[in-house]
Structures are given as structure tokens and as C-alpha cells.
Amino acid sequence: MDPFPRYDISRSYDWNYDHPPDPRSVEVPAIPGEWSLCGRQVDSPLGIPAGPLLNGAWCLYYASLGFDVITYKTVRSGARACYPLPNLQPVQCERMSGGEANVSVAQDMLGSWAVSFGMPSKSPKKWQQDVQRTRDALPREKLLVVSAVGTMQENWTIDDLADDYARCGRLAVDSGADFVEINFSCPNVTTCDGQLYQQPADSGLVANRVRQAIGDVPLIVKIGHLTDERTVSELIQHLSSSAQAIAMTNSIATQVLDEDKSVMFDGQVRGICGAATRQASLSQVEMFAREISSQEVPVEIIGVGGIGSAEDVREYLAAGAKATHLATSAMLDPAIALSIRRDWRS
């Protein structure tokens, strides 16, 4: 029997939601030093993003395995179903820069996969109750971040979308969230709620609306892949008055080809996550760190993308990240934080 069960990619999202592992009682090695995120002390720079943490039980499982910044799966102001299988499709690619026309599927997991969930959500009543139970059960030294997204409706303006983001953020705070993350990037969603980070002024408007709704609770903005320095500069300018941190990179999008070289997912792009995105994500952290320093604004960076070792964590911290999020490696090996902690000490 596997001592560390993991997400079953052959099963549906709802099956995995309903079959979470129980927390484990294991020795968690300490990482030397003092660590913090947005003014809150934590035991390590190790976090896990929203993707693997479908509900509170999944949050508590990974928290027991050495992760200290726990991000509850992205929630909405109304229920939304997950996309059909495959939700996690292994792909063949060694390194991505963002200019790839496509990638091909792989029979076995080679370190990266295409992610196709579509930001599903349970109803607010269900997820609010679950968030509250999770915060009550989570050790106080662990930080619970709730990821939220607005849901674009027909004929809505950016103001309408901002109000929906703010509504979700307030519901998260009322449920006990320590931090709120607003997701401005989902390559699997083609409406503007999935690509908001590419519009700096709109991003700033939404972040400010959420800030007004959640009071003094720290705000994280999750963004996708950017290489244009002007857009980076403008995005930081528009977010710095509302957000305390920016989490990046939420995958790199491209089309996925099956064994017959036909385009999968009805021709839509999908976000590629895993080892292939590490270098591009590191470069993005370095670019944002330079611009944040240049603008002299108090915005912290959470590094995300292809992290799977203590050395990877150190590289992200050296590039300017304050903390790191592990998703793909944590889904493949739920005990990865324990391994990183042991390697760090040795």
C-alpha cells in the first residue's frame, strides 16, 4: 500500500475530490532560518498552489507532509463543473520559452503535463463550510490561502467582473482565510477572467476592488507567463497599491497534439506545467524582482514552475522569490517537501 497516496490522473476530478488521503503522522525536518510571507512568519518557504488542493482534506494532507503555505483550490461565486478527462495529460517537452506552437503527448510522465481542469468550483455554501473546517483543523503556524476567481457572464463589464472577484474574496475571508489569492491566469479559460494578467489596468481595477472588500487581509495575485518588460512594469504599477504578493508562473500555454498529430482539447490551448517551465519561470521571477526593486514597491514574489528539489527552491529564492509553490512534483510525489527538507539540512 502506498504510504503517500496521490491524485489519480486516470479518475475524474470529482472522484479525486471525494477520495482524499488522510493526513500522515510523519517527522517533518526543520529548515534552518527565519521565513515569512507578507509579514506572517512561517516555518519554511515551501508552499503548494491551488491546483492539487481540491478541498480541505487535501489541504490537511499536504500540510502534514511539510508544506507551510497551503492554497485552497480556486473557488467561484457559483458552482462550476470540471472539464472532462484527460485533466492531466503527460507531454513531451524538455524546456519551454513560450513560443512553442504545440507539444506532443507522452505515454508516460516525463516531468511535465498539460493541465485541463477549467477552474471548477463547488457552490459557495459548500466551499465556505469546508474552508472554515480546514482553518479550524490546520495548525496555526500554517497559512491558509484561498484562491478565488471571478466568473465572466454575458454582457458583463470589467466592473461587473471586479465585483464578482470581490464577492468571492469577501466570502473567503468570512470563512477564515489567512490570505486571499485572486487568480488572473488560467490558460484553459478563454474569457477575460482567465487572461486578466495581460491587461495591467484591468488587473489593477480588480485588485483594488478586492482590496476594498477584504480589508487588511494579505492579497496575492496569481499570474501567467510574461516576457514583455513594459507589460511587467505596468502590471506592477497597477497592482502595487493593492497586492502584497504576486505568484508566478501559472504554466505556459500551447496546443497539445495526440499520437496521430491531431490537436486535442477541441483545438484550445492548455497550460503546460512541470519541469519544462522551470527556466522560463525563473527568468520571469528575476525580471519581476528587478522591476519591483526599481519601482521601490513592497510587493513580494512567490516562485512557481518546475520546482522539485532543494536546489530548485534555493534558485528561486536567489532569483528574488520570497516563497515557492510546488504543484506537479507534489502531485507526483506527495512526500517531496520531506525530501527537500532533509536535503536542505544535509
Written as tens digits, the pLDDT of the chain (346 aa) is 689 999 999 999 999 999 999 999 999 999 999 999 999 999 999 999 999 999 999 999 999 999 999 999 999 999 999 999 999 999 999 999 998 999 999 999 999 999 999 999 999 999 999 999 999 999 999 999 999 999 999 999 999 999 999 999 999 999 999 999 999 997 655 555 558 999 999 999 999 999 999 999 999 999 999 999 999 999 999 999 999 999 999 999 999 999 999 999 999 999 999 999 999 999 999 999 999 999 999 999 999 999 999 999 999 999 999 999 999 999 999 999 999 999 998 8
- The H-or-E segment that residue 57 falls in is helix 56-63
For residue 271, what is the enclosing H or E element? strand 270-274
The strand pair at 270-274 and 219-222 is best described as unpaired
243 in Cβ contact with 299 (< 8 Å): yes
Beta bridge partners of 89: 114
pLDDT the model gives residue 27: 96
Instruction: Quote the pLDDT of residue 192.
Output: 55
Give bridge partners of residue 72 from the DSSP assignment: 146
- Tell me the one-letter amino acid at 47: G
Instruction: Report d(CA 152, CA 154) in Å as an integer.
Output: 7
Contact 334, 53 (CB under 8 A): no
Where do the domains of the chain lie, and which CATH numbers do they carry? Answer: 13-345 (3.20.20.70)
Note the pLDDT of residue 195. Answer: 84
Query: How many beta carbons lie within 10 A of that of residue 258, not counting itself?
Result: 12
Local structure of 126: helix, strand or coil = helix
pTM of the full structure: 0.97
The rounded distance, in Å, linking the Cα atoms of 141 and 41 is 8
**Residue found by looking up cell 521601490 in the block:** 296
Per-residue pLDDT, 75: 97
- Asked if 215 and 189 touch (Cβ cutoff 8 Å), the reply is no
Return the number of other C-beta atoms located less than 10 Å from residue 29's C-beta.
18
Q: In this structure, what C-alpha cell is assigned to residue 164? A: 464578482
